[in-house]
């Protein structure tokens, strides 16, 4: 894993992802991962800014 903290910090699953295939988890050390593949790749992120953008609906129209 390059450029992303690999610590076992606390991971928090999105409250909106229950029962759906699009689940993500955010880590206290600044990373995002797919909750269905916890051992898989992690994306380094400014978690606070990401949460604020999601809450403000500023990611609408961003292609995946």
**What SS3 class is residue 16?**
coil
pLDDT mean across residues, the chain: 78
What is d(CA 56, CA 23) in angstroms, rounded to the nearest whole number?
19
Of 62, 9, 18, the C-alpha closest to 38 is 9
Compare 3 and 48 and report the one with higher pLDDT.
Answer: 48
38 pLDDT exceeds 70?
yes
Compare 7 and 31 and report the one with higher pLDDT.
Answer: 31
Of 15, 18, 3, the C-alpha closest to 54 is 15
Q: What is the mean pLDDT of residues 50-64?
A: 78
1 pLDDT exceeds 50?
no
Tokens 């600044």 — which residue?
30
Q: What is the mean pLDDT of residues 5-22?
A: 70
Q: What is the mean pLDDT of residues 49-60?
A: 85
């Amino acid at each position: 894993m390059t450029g992303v903290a690999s610590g076992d910090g606390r991971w928090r699953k999105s409250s909106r992802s229950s029962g759906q295939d699009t689940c993500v988890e955010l880590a206290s050390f600044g990373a995002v991962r797919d909750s269905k593949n916890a051992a898989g790749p992690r994306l380094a992120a400014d978690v606070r800014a990401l949460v604020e953008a999601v809450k403000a609906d500023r990611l609408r129209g961003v292609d995946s």
